[in-house]
């Protein structure tokens, strides 16, 4: 029996075709359009003609793979700001001046979302762009409102004065050349003989880029010589000067050191008989907190504890408006590197006068804390005092003593000092557990150097109960400072930490779903929800990846006079009080307490009170600046450690998945590097953001976040922080053994020196 030929569907109007293309979440091809409008084979030539006419009229744009999308809203060369580093390390940007020719608001009145720009890594092996960077970028359109960006040059919109660069001085035909250590600087800089500043070939230098005056290479003037670039101790200098950390104190600030006011016990509480001790890292040089504990003798508080946290009285020496104060504010905080410290205060203060050295009288601002047996803070009192530390202890010493192996220093301190400290700590830890804080477990790399500054080992920094003890004492003191100033009606600089945004929560929820872990909708509003997930994942191979993804979902902590609470610590109010030697924010809180209680003439002045918002913004930026320099230095030292092992094979895991390739973290050293997508097994790979995977179009091979890999080191260069890997074999990485099979998602892949652990 014959069938009547199918009656052709009405041929779509140009507007109908354009509406279909606009509403599609991804670019479409001619086949999808024909299927959507049920066109017959005889109608397809007419569709081809229509699409060609629409393209010639500028109504749609042809992308790679003959895909079609609405016209691009962005020019091919655009100034963009980096706005986020996504969960897998993907660098996201947006155009600075909005979207030219952007579509009008939709029927619901809401404008279209801004286009997404994925910036390609510019420093081989690392996503060198950071949030806040502004760059001139060349854009390639890859979707309806998606672009791939490549940096043409960085624009220093946030820095005042001429642009500075760090590089290696080389000889040239008509003068010198500077090869920048920052991979984002694509071209060399020319240095005229008059601008060389006596630099020698091979030296690491800081240069000022001069205004362009003629065609050819940009000109630069060398303003500082940092030494032989082949010497290992220049590695930290690249990171320090690359981030613009101040390294020289003004002469006026140093001159003030000679006239600092002497300390007398007058008008201070005398705590010199109290058994206060400092507990820090073995390589610490600045001791800004000392602790003591005893069982509370008050019969009304059975099982309770009395703690004393004494903090260096930096405000006594660094007065508002002085040159020392301006220098400390400019730095914002100390920065710690494997071979040096860039201190917030001159060493005469940070390592001597302000440092709570054993058996030396030191001024302090002390807080007495009374806890009940459950670790709840029931009352507290602040006082300006003079103290004398009984001992300078390390985390390792204290933990060994607690574990029954005291040394000569700790043995006499165990009964009256160390045992009560741990008793109070256990009460605080129980309160923290009830509170439900965010408990991330992220390994920290520890770089150890020999006497010549060369890396000897890179290992995971241990974390003992002695570390947690100090952390809990500091948190309790910081809470007391915030509560006290609020009660006094005093403005203060809070340490705030916002809740995760809905977008980041959804991204995390999808990632956890691929592992068979469920973060229910509505969860994520409390830190305990994340800690529960971490407990479930504690024995999984993906433990580190899950910790990192949860960390990436969190907001960034910052300083502000406007309180929104501290999400990670599950605290309604929190301030930094316990580290004024290394954080200016803590000095602000000290001054606020001094003013609130009339403890001296060196409290927070009216100008400081009125500028807390600006101060908070500045200190949040300097904190990020120092952290970026510290990470950069660790990466460079790690690259130096691996430099003579190019060609060797290592085990690691995929720590990030982007459309440009896979970020790899090695198991033994924690080194991070990139496998470019172009070097993966012969195929074209699609980036699945939901699965955090690269999936082969032809082979369906899948490279997923957290998967184990064997990689070969292709490049490791400390001067450029370049670490590049390739798969050691042609087989893809070993997938997670516990992952359930998901049909349709492709084949399962087989195949410091003065560094101290930050206190809260």
Residue 159: band (very low, low, confident or very high) from pLDDT cuts 50, 70, 90? very low
What percentage of residues in the chain have a pLDDT greater than 70?
88
**Per-residue pLDDT tens digits for 135-152:** 888 888 777 678 888 888
pLDDT at 268: 95
Q: What is the CATH number for 31? A: 1.10.10
Q: Which residue has the higher pLDDT, 114 or 534?
A: 534
pLDDT at 21: 80
Where does a domain end: 575, 603, 633? 633
Q: Which residue has the higher pLDDT, 590 or 23?
A: 590
**Per-residue pLDDT tens digits for 44-61:** 888 888 888 887 776 777
Where does a domain end: 104, 129, 155? 155
- Closest by CA to 621, choosing from 159, 94, 92, 121, is 159
Query: Is 488 in the same domain as 600?
Result: yes
Query: CB count, 10 Å around CB of 222?
Result: 21
Where does a domain end: 572, 603, 633? 633
Q: What is the CATH number for 200? A: 2.40.50
In a domain, 640, yes or no: no
pLDDT at 225: 93
Query: Is 435 in the same domain as 480?
Result: yes
Query: Is 455 in the same domain as 595?
Result: yes
Query: CB count, 10 Å around CB of 408?
Result: 6
Query: Is 622 in the same domain as 687?
Result: no
Q: Which residue has the higher pLDDT, 103 or 623?
A: 623
Provide the token pair at 114: 């801004």
Question: How many residues are present in the chain?
Answer: 760
**Per-residue pLDDT tens digits for 228-277:** 998 988 999 999 998 889 999 999 999 999 889 888 888 899 999 999 99
pLDDT at 108: 43
Query: Is 444 in the same domain as 479?
Result: yes
Query: Is 627 in the same domain as 652?
Result: no
In a domain, 760, yes or no: no
Domain containing 141 equals: 77-155
Query: Is 317 in the same domain as 388?
Result: yes
Q: Could you give phi then psi for residue 727, rounded to 5 degrees? A: -60, 135
Query: Is 221 in the same domain as 293?
Result: no
Q: What is the pTM of this model?
A: 0.79
Query: Is 393 in the same domain as 406?
Result: yes
In a domain, 5, yes or no: no
Query: Is 478 in the same domain as 344?
Result: yes
Residues in a beta bridge with 695? 686, 702
Q: What is the CATH number for 695? A: 2.40.50.140
pLDDT at 122: 62
Contact between 711 and 649 under an 8 Å Cβ cutoff? The reply is: yes
**Per-residue pLDDT tens digits for 689-740:** 878 889 999 998 999 888 899 999 999 988 888 899 999 975 555 544 333 3
Contact between 305 and 419 under an 8 Å Cβ cutoff? The reply is: no
In a domain, 147, yes or no: yes
Helix 234-242 crosses helix 612-642 at what angle (to 10 degrees)?
150
pLDDT surpassing 80 at residue 448? yes
Query: Is 218 in the same domain as 356?
Result: no
**Per-residue pLDDT tens digits for 683-702:** 889 988 878 889 999 998 99
Contact between 293 and 364 under an 8 Å Cβ cutoff? The reply is: no
Query: Is 596 in the same domain as 507?
Result: no
Contact between 751 and 735 under an 8 Å Cβ cutoff? The reply is: no
Query: CB count, 10 Å around CB of 750?
Result: 11
Tally the domains of the chain: 6
In a domain, 276, yes or no: yes
CA 437 vs CA 307, 349, 418, 524, 571: distances in Å: 22, 35, 26, 12, 9
pLDDT at 659: 87
């Amino acid at each position: 029996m014959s069938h009547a030929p199918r009656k052709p569907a009405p041929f779509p109007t140009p507007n109908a075709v354009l509406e279909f293309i606009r509403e599609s979440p991804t670019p479409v091809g001619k086949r999808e359009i024909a299927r959507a409008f049920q066109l017959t084979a005889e109608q397809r030539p007419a569709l081809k003609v229509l699409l060609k006419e629409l393209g010639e009229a500028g109504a749609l744009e042809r992308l790679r793979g003959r895909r079609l999308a609405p016209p691009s809203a962005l020019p091919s060369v655009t100034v963009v700001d980096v706005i986020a580093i996504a969960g897998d390390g993907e660098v996201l940007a947006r155009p600075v001046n909005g979207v030219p020719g952007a579509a009008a608001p939709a029927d619901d009145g809401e404008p279209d979302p801004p286009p997404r720009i994925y910036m390609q890594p510019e420093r081989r092996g690392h996503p060198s762009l950071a949030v806040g960077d502004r760059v001139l970028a060349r854009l390639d359109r890859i979707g309806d409102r998606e672009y791939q960006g490549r940096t043409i040059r960085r624009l220093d919109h946030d820095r005042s004065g001429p642009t500075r660069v760090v590089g290696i001085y080389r000889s040239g035909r008509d003068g010198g050349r500077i090869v920048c250590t920052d991979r984002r600087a694509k071209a060399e800089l020319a240095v005229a003989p008059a601008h060389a500043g006596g630099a020698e070939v091979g030296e690491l230098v800081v240069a000022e880029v001069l205004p362009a005056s003629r065609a050819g290479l940009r000109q630069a003037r060398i303003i500082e010589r940092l030494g032989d670039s082949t010497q290992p101790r220049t590695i930290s200098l690249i990171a320090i000067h690359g981030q613009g950390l101040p390294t020289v104190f003004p002469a006026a600030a140093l001159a003030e050191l000679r006239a600092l006011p002497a300390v007398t016990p007058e008008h201070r509480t005398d705590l010199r008989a109290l058994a206060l001790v400092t507990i820090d890292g073995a390589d610490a040089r600045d001791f800004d907190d000392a602790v003591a504990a005893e069982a509370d003798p008050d019969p009304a508080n059975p099982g309770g504890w009395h703690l004393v946290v004494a903090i260096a009285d930096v405000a006594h020496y660094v007065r508002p408006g002085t040159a020392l104060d301006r220098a400390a504010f400019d730095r914002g905080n100390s920065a710690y590197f494997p071979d040096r410290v860039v201190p917030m205060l001159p060493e005469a203060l940070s390592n001597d006068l302000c440092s709570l050295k054993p058996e030396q009288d030191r001024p302090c601002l002390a807080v007495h804390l009374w806890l009940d047996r459950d670790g709840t803070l029931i009352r507290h009192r602040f006082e300006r005092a003079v103290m004398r530390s009984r001992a300078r202890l390390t985390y390792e010493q204290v933990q060994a003593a607690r574990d029954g192996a005291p040394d000569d220093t700790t043995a006499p301190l165990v009964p009256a000092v160390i045992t009560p400290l741990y008793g109070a700590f256990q009460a605080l830890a129980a309160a923290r557990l009830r509170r439900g804080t965010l408990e991330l477990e992220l390994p920290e790399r520890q770089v150890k150097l020999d006497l010549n500054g060369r890396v000897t080992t890179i290992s995971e920094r241990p974390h003992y109960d002695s570390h947690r003890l100090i952390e809990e004492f500091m948190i309790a003191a910081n809470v007391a400072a915030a509560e006290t100033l609020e009660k006094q009606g005093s403005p203060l600089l809070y340490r705030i930490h916002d809740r995760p945004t809905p977008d980041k929560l959804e991204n995390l929820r999808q990632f956890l779903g691929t592992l068979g872990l469920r973060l229910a909708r509505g969860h994520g509003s409390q830190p305990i929800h994340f800690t529960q997930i971490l407990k479930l994942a504690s024995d999984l191979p993906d433990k580190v990846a899950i910790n990192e993804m949860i960390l990436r979902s969190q907001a960034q902590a910052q300083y502000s006079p406007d309180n929104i609470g501290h999400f990670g610590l599950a605290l309604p109010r929190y301030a930094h009080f316990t580290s004024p030697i290394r954080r200016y924010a803590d000095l602000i809180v000290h001054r606020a307490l001094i003013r609130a209680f009339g403890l001296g003439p060196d409290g927070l002045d009216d100008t400081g009170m009125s500028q807390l918002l600006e101060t908070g913004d500045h200190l949040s930026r300097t904190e990020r600046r120092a952290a970026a320099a510290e990470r950069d230095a660790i990466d460079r030292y790690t690259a130096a450690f691996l430099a003579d092992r190019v060609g060797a094979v290592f085990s690691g895991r995929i720590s990030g998945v982007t459309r440009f390739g896979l970020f790899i973290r090695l198991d033994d050293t924690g080194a991070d590097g990139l496998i470019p997508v172009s070097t993966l097994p012969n195929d074209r790979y699609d980036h699945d953001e939901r699965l955090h995977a690269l999936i082969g179009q032809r082979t369906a091979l899948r490279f997923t976040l957290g998967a184990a890999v064997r990689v070969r080191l292709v490049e490791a260069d400390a001067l450029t922080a370049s670490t590049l890997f390739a798969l050691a074999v042609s087989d893809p990485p070993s997938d997670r053994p516990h992952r359930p099979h998901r049909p349709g998602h492709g084949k399962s892949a087989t195949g410091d020196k003065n560094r101290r652990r930050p206190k809260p």
